[in-house]
Amino acid sequence: MGSGADLRIRPHTLLFYASPSSWVGPKMRMSTFVLKRLSYTVFVLFGLSILIFIIARVLPGDPARLALGPRAPDWAVENLRQQLRLNEPLYVQYFYWVRDALSGSLGVSLVTRRDVMVDIQEFLPATVELIVLAALLDMALAIPIGMVAGRRANSWFDNVVRVLSYVGVAVPAFVVAIIFILVFGFMLNIAPSIGRISPNIVAPPTVTGLITIDSLISGNMVAFFDAVAHLILPALALSLGLIAQEARITRSSVVENLNKDYILSTVSHGVPERLLTLKYLLKPSLIPTVSVMGLDMASLIGNAFLVELIFNWPGVSRYGITAMLRKDLNAIVAVVMIAGIIFAIANIAVDLIVAYLDPRIRMIEKAA
Amino acid sequence: MKRSSQIAIAVVIIIVVVAGAAWYALTPPPGPPTTTTTEVPTTTTAPMAPSVLTISFANVPNTDPAVGSDEASSSGFVNLYDTLVFPTPSGDVVPSVATSWSVSSDGLTWTFKLRSDVKFHDGTPLTANDVVFSLNRMLTIGQGYSYLFTPYVDQVSAPNDQTVVIKLKTTFGPFLGSTVRIYILNSKLVTSHFKTPGPYGDNGDYGSDWLLTHDAGSGPYMIKEMKLEAYMLMERFTGYWGEVRKDAPDQVKFLGTTEPATIKTMLSNGQLDITDQWQPTENLEAMAKLNGVTRTDIPTAGEFYLMMNTKMAPTDDIYFRAAVTYAFDYDTVVKSIIPGATESAGPVPTALPGHDSNAPKYHRDLAKAMEFIKQSKYYGKLDQYPIVYHWIAEVPDEEKVALLFADNMKDIGVKVQVVKVPWLTVVDEMGKLQTAPNIVTIFVSASYAEAGSMLQQRYHSKSAGTWEQNEWLQNSTIDSMIDDAVATLDKNERFAKYIKVQEALVAMYPSIFTYDQVERRAYYAVYVDWYAAKGQWSPVLGYNFDCRNIGFDAAGKAALFGS
Instruction: Quote ipTM for the complex.
Output: 0.74
CATH number at residue A185: 1.10.3720.10
Over residues B499-518, mean pLDDT: 96
Q: Is residue B530 in a domain?
A: no
What confidence tens digit (pLDDT) does each residue in B293-343 have? 999 999 999 999 999 999 999 999 999 999 999 999 999 999 998 888 899
Nearest Cα residue in chain B from A115: B209
Number of structural domains in chain A = 1
Residue type, B261: A
Min Cα distance A330 → chain B (Å) is 17
Q: Which chain A residues contact residue B212 at CB under 8 A?
A: 112-114
**Nearest CB to B262; choose among A68, A226, A310:** A310
Q: How much is the pLDDT for A19?
A: 38
SS3 label, residue B343 = strand
Residue B152: count of CB within 10 angstroms of its CB: 18
Q: Which chain B residues contact residue A113 at CB under 8 A?
A: 62, 64, 67, 208-209, 212
Over residues B49-53, mean pLDDT: 91
Contact A46, A53 (CB under 8 A): no
Q: Residue A69 and residue A90: Cα distance in Å, rounded? A: 24
Give whole-number Cα distances, A56 to A324, B138, B426, in Å: 8, 30, 17
Q: Residue A122 and residue A108: Cα distance in Å, rounded? A: 14
**Could you tell me if B480 and B351 lie in one domain?**
yes
Q: How much is the pLDDT for B155?
A: 96
Q: Which residues of B306-323 are buried (b: 16+ CB within 10 A; e: fewer)?
A: bbbbbebebbbbbbbbbb
Cα dihedral B446→B449→B450→B453 (10° resolution): -30
What confidence tens digit (pLDDT) does each residue in B61-95 have? 999 999 998 899 999 999 999 999 999 988 889 99
Residue B121 domain boundaries:
82-203
Nearest Cα residue in chain A from B52: A199
Q: Residue B405 and residue A338: Cα distance in Å, rounded? A: 45
Q: How much is the pLDDT for A6?
A: 41
Query: In what side-by-side order are the strands of the sheet with B163-168?
Result: B98-103, B109-114, B163-168, B153-160
Last residue of a domain, one of B203, B221, B240: B203
Nearest Cα residue in chain B from A226: B24
Q: Which chain B residues contact residue A225 at CB under 8 A?
A: 20-21, 23-24
What confidence tens digit (pLDDT) does each residue in B427-484 have? 889 989 999 999 999 989 888 889 999 999 999 999 998 889 999 999 999 999 999 9
**Could you tell me if B335 and B441 lie in one domain?**
yes
Q: How much is the pLDDT for A12?
A: 37
Q: How much is the pLDDT for B40?
A: 38
| Helix/strand/coil percentages in chain B, nearest 5 | 35, 20, 45
Q: Is residue B380 in a domain?
A: yes
Contact A225, A212 (CB under 8 A): no
Q: Which of A179, A225, A322, A335 to mutate to test the interface with B (most CBs of B within 10 A)?
A: A225
Q: Which of B73, B265, B425, B462 to mutate to test the interface with A (most CBs of A within 10 A)?
A: B265
Last residue of a domain, one of B158, B188, B203: B203
**Could you tell me if B315 and B195 lie in one domain?**
no
Residue A275 domain boundaries:
25-59+104-367
Nearest Cα residue in chain A from B428: A61
**Could you tell me if B318 and B448 lie in one domain?**
yes
SS3 label, residue B294 = strand
Peptide bond into A70 cis (omega under 30): no
Q: Residue B45 and residue B53: Cα distance in Å, rounded? A: 24
Q: Which chain B residues contact residue A229 at CB under 8 A?
A: 24
Nearest Cα residue in chain B from A200: B29
Over residues B100-129, mean pLDDT: 96
**Nearest CB to B262; choose among A190, A194, A199:** A194
CATH number at residue B510: 3.10.105.10
Min Cα distance B29 → chain A (Å) is 6
Do the chains contact at A186 and B265, CB–CB below 8 Å? Answer: yes
Do the chains contact at A310 and B259, CB–CB below 8 Å? Answer: yes
Q: How much is the pLDDT for A367?
A: 59
Contact A73, B142 (CB under 8 A): yes
CATH number at residue B164: 3.90.76.10
Angle separating helix axes A173-180 and A221-258, nearest 10 degrees: 130
Cα dihedral B123→B128→B132→B135 (10° resolution): 70
Contact B267, B290 (CB under 8 A): yes
Contact A172, A242 (CB under 8 A): no
Q: Residue B283 and residue B396: Cα distance in Å, rounded? A: 15
Do the chains contact at A70 and B466, CB–CB below 8 Å? Answer: yes
Contact B177, B495 (CB under 8 A): no
Q: Which chain B residues contact residue A198 at CB under 8 A?
A: 29-30
Number of structural domains in chain B = 2
Q: Which of B143, B211, B395, B460 to mutate to test the interface with A (most CBs of A within 10 A)?
A: B143
Task: Profile chain A (368 residues) by mean pLDDT over runs of 10 residues.
Answer: 39 38 48 81 89 85 79 83 87 91 86 86 92 91 90 89 88 90 86 81 86 92 92 92 90 86 82 79 80 81 85 89 85 90 83 74 58
What confidence tens digit (pLDDT) does each residue in B377-408 have? 999 999 999 999 999 988 888 999 999 999 99
| Model confidence at B222: pLDDT above 50 | yes
What confidence tens digit (pLDDT) does each residue in A304-333 have? 888 898 888 889 988 988 888 888 889 999
Q: How much is the pLDDT for A25?
A: 44
Min Cα distance B368 → chain A (Å) is 37
Q: Is residue A359 in a domain?
A: yes
Last residue of a domain, one of B153, B185, B203: B203
Q: Residue B38 and residue B61: Cα distance in Å, rounded? A: 36
Q: How much is the pLDDT for B39?
A: 38
Q: Is residue A7 in a domain?
A: no
**pLDDT confidence bin for B500, thresholds 50/70/90:** very high
| Model confidence at B115: pLDDT above 90 | yes
Show Cβ contacts of residue B352 under 8 Å, excluding neighbours closer than 6 positions: B91, B301, B446, B449, B450, B451, B453, B454, B539
**Could you tell me if B336 and B467 lie in one domain?**
yes
Q: Which chain B residues contact residue A199 at CB under 8 A?
A: 29-30, 52
Min Cα distance B84 → chain A (Å) is 23
Min Cα distance A31 → chain B (Å) is 31
Q: Is residue A255 in a domain?
A: yes
**Nearest CB to B143; choose among A72, A228, A319:** A72
* Predicted TM-score of the model (pTM): 0.82
**Nearest CB to A76; choose among B142, B256, B427:** B142
Do the chains contact at A60 and B424, CB–CB below 8 Å? Answer: yes
Nearest Cα residue in chain A from B19: A225
Q: Which chain A residues contact residue B150 at CB under 8 A?
A: 73
How many beta-carbon pairs under 8 angstroms link A with B?
A: 128
Q: How much is the pLDDT for A27?
A: 45
Q: Residue B285 and residue A177: Cα distance in Å, rounded? A: 22
